[in-house]
Amino acid sequence: MERTLILLKPDCIQRRLAGKILTRFEDKGFNIVAMKLLRVTPELSKKHYAEHVSKPFYPNLEAFITGGPIVALVLEGLEVIRVVREMLGATSGLKAAAGTIRGDYSSSRQMNLVHASDGPEASAREIALYFRAEEIVASELTLTPWLRADDES
Ligand code: CMP
């Protein structure tokens, strides 16, 4: 079972798309095991986007991600890191395939609505930036036997 860190970015909250996007993850069968509304500070942005801090687009990215509330959540499920990235589509909404979240709702490279961890190391690092261990509430939903067979876990 894997976990991934998802951010519903300020554009997602301002455009009131949070419900629709959470529904897509729920419909797919993934479990929300932690979730909060918060405002990203410049310090947190620099930690989260450490690999982008020296890039020319970073000042705009920081202004954007700190510019309004976000929803941070942890999703749990089989192969959730890869599957969620596929559900999001390419980084730019202009390049993302129709049917993906960005392909359906974004027409921007920066305002691409949702962040998701790109691998297991990033996921562990990013979850620890946003959540303390006791804020993660794992539980087996009664629906699970109707989402996958016993030998698929
Ligand atoms: P995200 O998946 O959160 O990871 C890094 C973010 O930087 C990315 O989504 C985009 O929002 C942003 N980003 C990546 N490349 C560019 C770029 N060339 N110009 C502006 N923003 C970018």
Burial (CB count within 10 angstroms: exposed 0-12, middle 13-18, buried 19+), residue 138: exposed
For the segment 138-152, what is each residue's pLDDT rounded down to a tens digit? 887 888 888 889 888
For the segment 54-94, what is each residue's pLDDT rounded down to a tens digit? 999 999 999 999 999 999 999 999 999 999 999 999 999 99
For the segment 96-117, what is each residue's pLDDT rounded down to a tens digit? 999 999 999 999 999 999 999 9
Alpha helices in the chain (DSSP H): 10-14, 18-28, 42-48, 58-65, 80-88, 101-105, 120-130
What fold is seen in the domain 2-139? Alpha-Beta Plaits (3.30.70)
For the chain, the straight-line distance linking the first and the last C-alpha, in angstroms and rounded, comes to 7
Task: Determine the length of the chain.
Answer: 153
Residue nearest to atom 22 of ligand 1 (CA): 110
Kindly give the interhelix angle for 80-88 and 18-28, rounded to the nearest 10 degrees. Answer: 140
* Domain layout of the chain by residue ranges: 2-139
Burial (CB count within 10 angstroms: exposed 0-12, middle 13-18, buried 19+), residue 34: buried
Which are the catalytic amino acids? 115
Residue nearest to atom 17 of ligand 1 (CA): 57
118 Cβ closer than 6 Å to some ligand 1 atom: no
Helix, strand, coil abundance in the chain, percent, nearest 5:
45, 20, 35
Q: What is the 79 CA–ligand 1 centroid distance (Å)?
A: 23
112 Cβ closer than 6 Å to some ligand 1 atom: yes
115 Cβ closer than 6 Å to some ligand 1 atom: yes
Quote the CA–CA distance of 64 and 40 in Å, as a whole number.
10
**Backbone phi, psi, residue 127, to 5°:** -60, -40
Model's pTM, two decimal places? 0.94
Q: What is the 84 CA–ligand 1 centroid distance (Å)?
A: 17
92 Cβ closer than 6 Å to some ligand 1 atom: no
Looking at this protein, which amino acid is placed at residue 52?
Answer: H
> What kind and span of H or E run contains 9?
none
